[in-house]
Amino acid sequence: MLRQYQRIKSLHPDSILMFRLGDFYEMFYKDAELASSILGITLTSRNKNAPDSVPLCGVPYHSVEPYIVKLLKEGHKVALCDQVEDPKAARGIVRREVTRVFTPGVIADGLGLEAACSNNLASVYINDGAIGLACADASTGFFEASIHRGLPELNQELARLEPREVLVPSTDGGPSEIEASMGRAFPDLFVTRVEAERFDPALIQGLEGAAVLAREMPEAARAAGGLMSYLAATQMGRTGQMTGVRVAARAGVMRMDEETRRNLELTETMRDRAREGSLLWALDRTKTAGGARLMRRWVLAPLTDVAGINARLDSVEAIAGSPALMRALGDALGGVYDIERIASRAASGVAGVRDLVALARSLDAAAEIRGLLFGTEGLLSTLARSIDDLPELRERIARTLVDEPPLSAREGGLIRQGFCPELDGIRQAVSGSRQVIAGMEESERKSTGINSLKIRFNRVFGYYIEITNANRDRVPPRYIRRQTLANAERFVTPKLKEHEERVLGGEERARAMEFEIFASLREEAGREVASLQRTAEAAATLDALASFARVASEYDYSRPSVDDSLAISIRDGRHPIVERLCADRFVPNDVTLNGDDLRMLMITGPNMAGKSTVMRQTALIALMAQIGSFVPARGARIGVVDRIFTRVGASDALAQGRSTFMVEMSEAAVILREAGPRSLVVIDEIGRGTSTFDGLAIAWAVAEDLHDRVKGRTMFATHYHELTELALTRPSISNFHVAVREWNGKVVFLRKLTPGSTSHSYGIQVASLAGLPDAVISRAREVLANLEAGEFDEAGRPRIGSSSHAQQAQPRAAQYRLFTASAKSEVERMLGGIDANSVTPLEALNILHELAAKVENGRGDGR
Ligand code: ADP
């Protein structure tokens, strides 16, 4: 057996091999050592103490799943090796084969596969600067490919697709540049190296769309080939769900990089990576798993084509405008199971009985949905037309399978009475013999006179007659003894055995027949995979649209008007998440941006005033409009945004070896390099992680460049009040502030975005609100007053350190003065005032003397 193990293990050297032995999956050698420590299970060994001892550990076969999930989470692959023949029928060692390989990107249902998330596997192939990317979800049959120029572009696409695992061709050296870049941007992504020759476009031949891909995007076709080869290897060739590969539509999709996706908290919060508090959480009221997955994809890939956006908005309006339709659609969608994944399982031959019953019910619901959409227009009617409820398949499943089938297809009891006369005949014979056996208990009691005689069944002995020791002497001679227990004996009779044979043999035959009927039904369903995928997509799309409609009416959203202008004009806009989570009443705000005099809003105001909130809500409203959702505002006009850039908060990437400041600057660099006139740029503080001068200088220069060259629509929040001066010289910059009032030395937040700048930071008041000790607060007020009175005293000593208390700060040589670009010293001024042509030698000597004295007297004015 260990030889068999070694042979199989040699085929899967990079996976942990789980080897079925009786009721356990066992792991041996290094796998056992690794798994026992990860899974916290005991490591034992065969032939303990012997020189050839074999370390091993195992888990029960019926609860193997959580163990596999745990190994996957730790970044390991798992090959599951099963017995592929009946141990009873086997001669010698039972034949075993690996039946599935699980990797982070290729997981089976039930193994921690989330219903509301895709489980994407990506594959990357680079040639000559072109990066081919393929991405597939083996659980649904989703498969698309694209070409990218440069790593930033690749990373944006990966941010949209959220793969769990990415395949790269193995190289001789260490990690390639691309591996390193993906690792930096996506720390959770699992990178698998695959032999370069497996990236072969021939491997996708025959799939719909493969020929076009091979012709027009050879690198993408290679990436797709590598992906298919990996899928086939892990799924043991069962890839029937992969029916076609499409070219990812990049035109028409808003581009966002990973940072922006994170900063805007689209699918999870930044702080604790929770779903609650994310935009997806606020928007997702879908009823189906497919709808939830699609909603997530939409949120990560807003549209930029006006017609496509308005088609969705029209549908949402139609649904939201008819409460009856909305309710009926919701009910019908509630009856749709995960058609996409069931179809995939059917096509790859692993669907269960309950899957098929669920499929038939889903098709019923799909037919109902199509009916509900009768008479609609536009996208809704297109969707209705793509729903194929496959009446024949539906009817055949309903006719074949019982309503509440057992979990397993091999244990019988799944085929409806009346479906197959032969099966019914066998069942009848079985139940006849069962009745005979049941009747025998009564007749044997009578004939032996033993009232406690019982006929029982167990798996080892089959049917037997049990007689307690007290009645042992009344056992008739025709009874054949089989087993003696402490207080009873067990017997059989030829007649009992004969009927047992009929029952067990019949049951066996019935089970086999039931399974065969089921398997052919499953095959039939599998053949419809392409049509089922289309129906699933239509249902998911409707579900997502209906979800928008539901949220819109529940939270009083309105339909945005989306066009090709450069306007962003929001009336009474609200932040979709803060408005639900904040305890106070949310204060709506107007925001207007255009390509003209309001291209950049320079926003000031104290900490906590609501600057971030109003900027994020603007970005979120634009994004929501472009995924086809209504928006939290009284009215909104959105001129399509092609890209959103954000530079917000201070997120240290210390693990990746970059400080806050470094992260900040590289984000700013990306914005300046890539943003354009149609972009929306949100900058929430910049230049804070360095000295005031550096920081202000950088912020100033960045703002200028954004305005003068990039020309994107920009919201720029800053604490550097100096930046508000930019509005004086730049026509398209306007100053705004988020208003506060000061009352009894305390700040009151009004949360209103108001034209004009503010020169007051209220930092100390906010610090006091936050609970800084009173002594520190009053000292801070003192220092602030000093600062504001002027930085230096007459003697040139910096005033910052001076105090009304006894101890005086020492004069320091270090001097600085804010923003006097070329303040001249007195000495320089005197020198400048000399007319060298008219001055006499004596005067010159006097001046020289005076100058020397000035310099001697203490560097007069700080120069
Ligand atoms: P800033 O960026 O100016 O420091 P934030 O935007 O982070 O301030 O806002 C601080 C807090 O104020 C938010 O967490 C939120 O609870 C509250 N807030 C902000 N804007 C509003 C608003 N318009 N209405 C009600 N509460 C708000």
pLDDT at 137: 92
Q: What pLDDT, on a 0 to 100 scale, did the predictor assign at position 863?
A: 40
Per-position b or e across 165-199, b if 16+ CB within 10 A of its CB: bbbbbeeeeeebebbeebebbbeebbbbebeeebb
**Tokens 């941007």 found at:** 185
Q: How confident is the model at residue 810 (pLDDT cuts 50, 70, 90)?
A: very low
CA distance 715 to 593: 9
Task: Tell me the torsion sign for CA atoms 373, 379, 385, 388.
Answer: negative
Give the number of the atom of ligand 1 that is nearest the alpha carbon of residue 610.
6
Q: What is the C-alpha separation between 191 and 75, in angstroms, rounded?
A: 9
> How far is ligand 1, taken at its centre, from the CA of residue 610, in Å?
3
Between the CA of 272 and the centroid of ligand 1 the distance, in Å, is: 19
How far apart (Å, rounded) are the C-alpha atoms in residues 392 and 108?
Answer: 29
- For 369-398, how does the pLDDT look when each residue is reduced to its tens digit (9 = 90+)? 999 999 999 999 999 999 999 999 999 999
216 contacts: CB under 8 Å, gap ≥ 6: 247
Write the Ramachandran bin of 675: left for phi over 0, alpha for psi from -120 to 50, otherwise beta.
beta
Give the per-residue pLDDT at 637: 98
Per-residue pLDDT tens for 141-169?
999 999 998 888 898 899 999 999 999 99
Q: Which atom of ligand 1 is nearest to the CA of 609?
A: 3
Q: Is the pLDDT of residue 518 over 90?
A: yes
How many A from CA of 616 to the centre of ligand 1?
11
The yes-or-no verdict on residue 654 having pLDDT over 60 is: no
Q: What is the pLDDT of residue 84?
A: 85
pLDDT level of residue 657 (50, 70, 90 thresholds): low
| Weakest mean pLDDT among 400-409, 715-724, 740-749 | 740-749
SS3 741: strand
d(CA 619, CA 492): 81
DSSP single-letter state for residue 197: G
Query: pLDDT of 551-586, one tens digit each?
Result: 999 999 999 999 999 999 999 999 999 999 987 789
- Over range 179-196, report the average pLDDT: 87
CA 608–ligand 1 middle distance (angstroms): 6
State yes or no: pLDDT of 781 exceeds 80.
yes
pLDDT of residue 109: 61
C-beta of 613 in contact with ligand 1 (< 6 A): yes
Does the pLDDT of residue 812 top 50, yes or no? Answer: no
Give, for ligand 1, the residue of 585, 590, 613 to mutate: max count of ligand atoms closer than 8 Å to Cβ: 613
611 lines ligand 1 (CB under 6 A): yes
Residue pair 177/168 in contact (Cβ under 8 Å)? The answer is no
| Positive or negative: CA dihedral 228, 232, 235, 239 | positive
3-state secondary structure of 592: strand
Task: State the Rg of the chain over Cα.
Answer: 38
Q: Which backbone phi and psi does 415 adopt, to 5 degrees? A: -90, 135
pLDDT tens per residue, range 492-501: 999 999 989 9
Ligand 1 centroid–CA 95 distance in Å is 66
pLDDT confidence bin for 180, thresholds 50/70/90: confident
Predicted confidence (pLDDT) at residue 813 exceeds the cutoff of 60:
no
Percent of the residues in the chain that have a pLDDT greater than 90, as a whole number: 56
Tokens representing 453 are 């005689």
578 lines ligand 1 (CB under 6 A): yes
Among 85, 2, 71, residue whose Cα is nearest residue 35: 71
Q: Is the pLDDT of residue 819 over 50?
A: no
The β-bridge partners of 149 are 130
pLDDT of residue 156: 87
Residue 87 and residue 93: Cα distance in Å, rounded?
Answer: 8
The predicted pLDDT at position 840 comes to 86
What pLDDT shows up at residue 680? Answer: 97
Distance, in Å, from the CA atom of 347 to the CA atom of 760, rounded to the nearest integer, reads: 67
Residue 751 in contact with ligand 1 by CB distance below 6 A: yes
CA 136 centroid distance within chain: 15
Predicted pLDDT at 297: 94
pLDDT of 824 above 60: no
How far does residue 264's CA lie from ligand 1's centre (Å)? 15
Per DSSP, helices labelled H in 569-641 are 578-581, 611-627
**pLDDT confidence of 804, banded at 50, 70, 90?**
low
Give 156 Cα–ligand 1 centroid separation in angstroms: 29
| Local structure of residue 825 (DSSP, 8 states) | P
pLDDT at 822 over 50: no
Q: 261 CB less than 6 Å from ligand 1?
A: no
Q: What is the 3-state secondary structure (H, E, C) of 626-663?
A: HHCCCECCCEEEEECCCEEEEECCCCCEHHHCECHHHH
Nearest residue (CA) to ligand 1, atom 10: 608
Please give the distance, rounded to the nearest whole angstrom, from the Cα atom of residue 587 to the centre of ligand 1. Answer: 9
Find all residues with CB under 8 Å of 778, minimum gap 6, and list them.
none
Average pLDDT, the chain: 88
> Which of 340-344, 624-628, 745-749 ranks highest by mean pLDDT?
624-628
Q: What is the pLDDT of residues 398-457, one digit of tens each?
A: 999 999 999 888 888 999 999 999 999 999 999 999 899 989 999 999 999 999 999 999
Task: Give the span between the Cα atoms of 675 and 308, in whole angstroms.
Answer: 23
- DSSP bridge partners of 815: none
Task: Return the best residue to mutate from 264, 578, 760 for the ligand 1 pocket (most ligand atoms within 8 A of CB).
Answer: 578
**Ligand 1 centre and the CA of 578: distance in Å?**
8
Measured from the CA of 582, which atom of ligand 1 is nearest?
Answer: 16
Average pLDDT value for residue range 745-751: 82
Angle at 159 between CA 158 and CA 164, to 5 degrees: 65
460-464, 665-669, 859-863: range with lowest mean pLDDT: 859-863
Over range 749-762, report the average pLDDT.
Answer: 84
The better pLDDT of the pair 205, 636 is held by: 636
Which tokens belong to 163? 């793969």
Lowest mean pLDDT of 125-134, 183-192, 390-399, 784-793, name the range. Answer: 784-793
Give the span between the Cα atoms of 790 and 798, in whole angstroms: 9
Higher pLDDT pick, 316 / 351: 316
| Gap from CA of 580 to ligand 1 centroid (Å) | 13
Distance between alpha carbon 472 and the CA centroid of its chain, in Å?
70
Ligand 1 contacts CB of residue 610 (under 6 A): yes
Q: pLDDT at residue 348 above 50?
A: yes
Q: Is the CB of 607 under 6 A from ligand 1?
A: yes
Could you tell me which residue, 418 or 789, shows the higher pLDDT? Answer: 418
| Other Cβ atoms within 10 Å of 777 Cβ, number | 16
Averaged pLDDT, 81-107? 85
User: Among 501-515, 725-739, 747-761, where is mean pLDDT lowest?
Assistant: 747-761
Host H or E run for residue 68: helix 65-73
Q: Determine the Cα–Cα distance for residues 639 and 626; give it in Å rounded to an integer.
A: 10
Mean pLDDT (whole number) for 241-265: 87
How far out from the chain centre does Cα 492 lie? 62
Strand residues in 367-433 grouped as ranges (E): none
Alpha helices in 40-190 (DSSP H): 65-73, 151-161, 177-185
pLDDT of residue 862: 42
Q: Tell me, using a 6 A CB cutoff, whether residue 586 lines ligand 1.
A: yes
Query: Does residue 739 line the site of ligand 1, with CB under 6 A?
Result: no
Ligand 1 atom nearest 607 alpha carbon: 4
CB of 222 within 6 A of ligand 1: the answer is: no
Threshold 0.85, pTM exceeds? no
Angle between helices 692-705 and 660-674 (to 10 degrees): 20
Predicted confidence band of residue 658 (pLDDT cuts 50, 70, 90): low
Q: Residue 838 CB: number of other CB atoms within 10 A?
A: 7
User: Ligand 1 pocket, 761 CB below 6 A?
Assistant: no
For residue 728, report the distance from its CA to the centre of ligand 1, in Å.
28
**Ligand 1 centre distance from Cα of residue 196 (Å):** 52
Ligand 1 closest atom vs CA 581: 16
At 556, list the tokens. 């009083």
Which residue has the least CA distance to atom 19 on ligand 1? Answer: 610
